[in-house]
Each structure stands twice: as C-alpha cells, then as structure tokens.
C-alpha cells in the first residue's frame, strides 16, 4: 500500500493489540504508546493526524487521556477514535462527552475500522483545507484581510508599545490593468506579495487587505529598523519587473506609510489609520516613496 504520509497514534496498554493495529494500518506512519502519559508526550512532540485510543488503561485511562489531549494546543483538534471492549451505552456516551469523534468496540472488524479511520482523516483534510481558504489570500498565499486583522490584533494586545504598522499600495494600479489587462495586474500583485514575503522578518504579520493594498504589523523592531524595512521593500519592488505576454518587461512602484505606537495611537485600528493616512500623503507627494509618522 502506498504511504499516505499521515500519522496515526495508537494508544493501548496491550502489546498484542498494538501489533494488530500496526499491521492493519500498513501505509500510514504509525506511532505507538502503551499508556496515556506517553501518548500526551508524543502529541506534544509529533505532528499527529489521528489518534486510536483505548479506554481501559492503568493510571491514566482513555477518558482522562482524551481530556488532556484536548487541552494541548497541538492536539486539541486531532480526531480521536476510541477502541475498547466496553460497549454499554454509558461508556459510549462518555467517550463522546470527553471529546472522542468516533467509537469502535473490540473485537473490531478490520474493514470497518479502516473505513472509519479513512473517513476521519478525509474529514480532517477537508477541515484543514477550508481553514486555509478562510485564512489565506488565494492569489498571493499571504494572510487575507480577516486573518491579518485577527493575527495583528493578537500581537498588538501582547506588545502594544512595540507595535508598528505599515501600509503599502501599488501605484497607478488601474492604469496597469487598463494598459496590460487584469491577468497581468494579478501577476503584479503576486510579485509584490512575493517580495514582501521574502523580506518581512519572523514575527511580523503580513496581509493583503484587498485589491492592491497590503499591510505589515511588526512588534520587535526599532523605529529605524521599521523604516529600513519599508524602504528596502519599496526599493526592491521598484527594481522588479513582470514580463508581459508581448515580451515587454514592465516595472511598477508602491507607496508606503508607516506609523509607530504612541499613546495617542492606543489601538490597532488607530495605528493602521495613521499608517494609511501616511500612505495617502506619499501618494499625494508623487508616489514611489515612504512617509514615516
């Protein structure tokens, strides 16, 4: 069977049960744990897609293990299928109440178990795909407007007095679309996003707010470093070209505005508004420049 590269954690205190499941799950990357504590450690250390969890185990049983796994950031959304000899209604209800997504009784039927595993993995993939679509701009691959504001607000709440907002806008973008067509305009947007993504430091939040407008919020840079970052991006974009289908290499520019936190700018919205005002000053002053406030 072809390896799916999906990782399944099998948790059972009986080695013979683990051997059966490992053989059955041929084609998956299988991790094993003989107790709940080891399962929790693996969930923290490894990237796991699905957990098969026995209920009856010494010290930490399956229910308590499940609860703890749901409290861990890296495993809270991982689907858990309980596998157990308990088949009374109370045990089944408890399994779902404690966070299980499915329940298989022993002795299990191999084809049924595999079908349930495949179904849950498929659902997880679909959820992850939908989460990606809801968070990232399809054209550029960077944060979309909603996710940008969500992440930027989270950072601002942690380090308000270290926050700096930068707004950038492609100059005369309507003229680019009118002269060379919208598909070419899309490639210009992609090129700008690529340059920005390459140069934005770790910890800063980059997003496309809509159309030809982009924003960055940083939390760990000095005023001088923020100014240098904006100017570096602006100059790199001014040097870049995108090849038109006619063979002509087209250049373009951006204007930028930057605002650093000060007591009067005590919210993310206020900080971004100040940066946006500076951006429009840059536009009015002739474009292809940055205004710092």
Within-domain flag for 247: yes
Within-domain flag for 189: yes
- Which distant-in-sequence residues (6+ apart) come within 8 Å of 223 by Cβ? 164, 260
Domain boundary among 134, 160, 183: 134
Please tell me whether residues 159 and 34 are part of one structural domain: no
Please tell me whether residues 121 and 185 are part of one structural domain: no
Please tell me whether residues 96 and 156 are part of one structural domain: no
Please tell me whether residues 56 and 151 are part of one structural domain: no
What is the pTM assigned to this prediction? 0.73
Within-domain flag for 2: no
Region 151-178 average pLDDT: 96
Q: What is the pLDDT of residues 196-249, one digit of tens each?
A: 999 999 999 999 999 999 999 999 999 999 999 999 999 999 999 999 999 999
Within-domain flag for 1: no
Please tell me whether residues 118 and 158 are part of one structural domain: no
Region 265-293 average pLDDT: 96
Predicted confidence at residue 108, as pLDDT, reads 85
Please tell me whether residues 95 and 197 are part of one structural domain: no
Please tell me whether residues 38 and 166 are part of one structural domain: no
Within-domain flag for 254: yes
Q: What is the CATH number of the domain that holds 265?
A: 3.30.70.270
Q: What is the pLDDT of residues 100-137, one digit of tens each?
A: 999 998 888 899 999 999 999 999 999 989 988 899 99
Q: What are the CB-based long-range contacts (under 8 Å, 24+) for 169-173?
A: 169/212, 169/213, 169/214, 169/254, 169/255, 169/256, 169/279, 169/283, 170/212, 170/252, 170/253, 170/254, 171/252, 171/253, 171/254, 171/255, 171/283, 171/287, 171/288, 172/252, 172/287, 173/211, 173/212
Within-domain flag for 209: yes
Considering its fold, how many domains does the chain have in total? 2
CB-CB neighbours of 92 under 10 Å: 16
Please tell me whether residues 129 and 50 are part of one structural domain: yes
225/243 Cα distance (integer angstroms): 32
Predicted confidence at residue 150, as pLDDT, reads 96
Predicted confidence at residue 59, as pLDDT, reads 86
- Where does the pLDDT of residue 2 fall: very low under 50, low under 70, confident under 90, or very high at 90 and above? very low
Q: What is the CATH number of the domain that holds 85?
A: 3.40.50.2300
Please tell me whether residues 66 and 199 are part of one structural domain: no
Q: At what angle do helices 145-158 and 110-135 cross, to 10 degrees?
A: 80
Q: Is 212 a catalytic residue?
A: yes
Residue 209: give the domain boundaries.
Answer: 145-292
Within-domain flag for 84: yes
Please tell me whether residues 125 and 152 are part of one structural domain: no
Q: What is the pLDDT of residues 156-167, one digit of tens each?
A: 999 999 999 999
The one-character DSSP state at 34 is S
Please tell me whether residues 254 and 217 are part of one structural domain: yes
Domain boundary among 71, 101, 134: 134
CB-CB neighbours of 25 under 10 Å: 20
Of the candidates 212, 213, 224, 231, the residue annotated as catalytic is 212
Domain boundary among 107, 134, 161: 134
Please tell me whether residues 181 and 213 are part of one structural domain: yes
């Amino acid at each position: 069977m072809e390896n799916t590269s999906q990782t399944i954690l099998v948790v059972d205190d009986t080695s013979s049960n683990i051997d059966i499941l490992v053989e059955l799950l041929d084609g998956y990357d299988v991790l094993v744990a003989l107790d709940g504590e080891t399962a929790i450690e693996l969930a923290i250390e490894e990237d796991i897609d699905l957990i098969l969890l026995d209920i009856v185990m010494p010290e930490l049983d399956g229910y308590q293990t499940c609860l703890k796994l749901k409290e861990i950031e890296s495993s809270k959304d991982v689907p858990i299928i309980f596998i157990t000899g308990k088949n009374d209604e109370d045990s089944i209800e408890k399994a779902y109440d404690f966070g299980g997504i499915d329940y298989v009784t022993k002795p299990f039927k191999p084809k049924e178990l595999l079908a349930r595993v495949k179904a849950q993995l498929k659902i997880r993939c679909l959820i992850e795909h939908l989460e990606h679509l809801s968070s990232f701009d399809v054209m550029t691959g960077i944060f979309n407007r909603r996710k940008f504001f969500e992440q930027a607000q989270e950072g601002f709440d942690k380090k308000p007095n270290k926050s700096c907002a930068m707004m950038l806008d492609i100059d005369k973008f309507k003229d680019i679309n009118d002269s060379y067509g919208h598909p070419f305009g899309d490639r210009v947007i992609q090129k700008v996003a690529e340059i920005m993504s390459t140069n934005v430091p770790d910890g800063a939040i980059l997003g496309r707010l809509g159309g030809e407008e982009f924003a960055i919020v940083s939390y760990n840079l000095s005023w001088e470093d923020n100014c240098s970052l904006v100017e570096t991006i602006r100059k790199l974009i001014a040097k870049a070209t995108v090849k038109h289908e006619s063979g002509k290499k087209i250049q373009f520019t951006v204007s930028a505005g930057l605002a650093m936190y000060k007591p009067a700018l005590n919210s993310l919205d206020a900080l971004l508004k100040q940066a946006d005002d500076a951006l429009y000053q840059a536009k009015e002053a002739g474009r292809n420049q940055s205004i710092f406030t």
